[in-house]
Amino acid sequence: MSLYFKYFKVHLKSELEYKTSFILSFIAQLFTLFSYYFTIICLFNQFSNIKGFTMYDVLLTFGIIQFGFAFCETFFRGIDKFDTLIIEGNFDRLLLRPRNILFQLFCDKLSLIKASKVIETIIVLIIAILNIEVNWNGYRIMTLIFMLFSAIIIFLAILIASASYCFLTIKGLEVRNVLTDGCKDMAQYPIGIFKKGFINFFTFIVPMGLVNYYPFLFLLGKSNNKLLCFCPLLTILYLIPAIWLFYRGLKRYSSIGS
Binding site for another protein (CB under 8 A): 2-3, 6-7, 10, 13-15, 17-18, 89-90, 92-93, 95-100, 251, 253-255, 257-258
Which residue, 7 or 26, has its beta carbon nearer to another protein? 7
Which residue, 234 or 250, has its beta carbon nearer to another protein? 250
Which residue, 119 or 250, has its beta carbon nearer to another protein? 250
Which residue, 57 or 83, has its beta carbon nearer to another protein? 83
Which residue, 20 or 254, has its beta carbon nearer to another protein? 254
| CA separation, residue 20 to residues 17, 124, 211 (Å) | 9, 27, 37
Three-state DSSP state, 53: strand
Work out how close the CB of 256 gets to another protein at its nearest, in angstroms, rounded to a whole number: 10
With b meaning 16 or more CB within 10 Å and e meaning fewer, what string describes 32-62? ebeeebeebeeebeeeeebeebbbbbbbbbb
Distance (Å, whole) CA 11 – CA 156: 20
Work out how close the CB of 201 gets to another protein at its nearest, in angstroms, rounded to a whole number: 30
Work out how close the CB of 17 gets to another protein at its nearest, in angstroms, rounded to a whole number: 5
Work out how close the CB of 203 gets to another protein at its nearest, in angstroms, rounded to a whole number: 36
Work out how close the CB of 20 gets to another protein at its nearest, in angstroms, rounded to a whole number: 15
Query: DSSP labels for 92-153?
Result: HHHHTSSS-HHHHHHHH---GGGHHHHHHHHHHHHHHHHHS-----HHHHHHHHHHHHHHHH
Residues 6+ away with beta carbon under 8 Å from 101:
94, 95, 250
Q: Which of 19, 34, 1 is nearest to 116 (CA)?
A: 34
Work out how close the CB of 3 gets to another protein at its nearest, in angstroms, rounded to a whole number: 5
Which residue, 195 or 251, has its beta carbon nearer to another protein? 251
| CA separation, residue 50 to residues 1, 45, 121 (Å) | 43, 12, 22
Work out how close the CB of 43 gets to another protein at its nearest, in angstroms, rounded to a whole number: 41
| Degrees to nearest 5, angle at CA 15 with 14 and 20 | 130
Which residue, 27 or 168, has its beta carbon nearer to another protein? 168
| Degrees to nearest 5, angle at CA 82 with 20 and 14 | 30
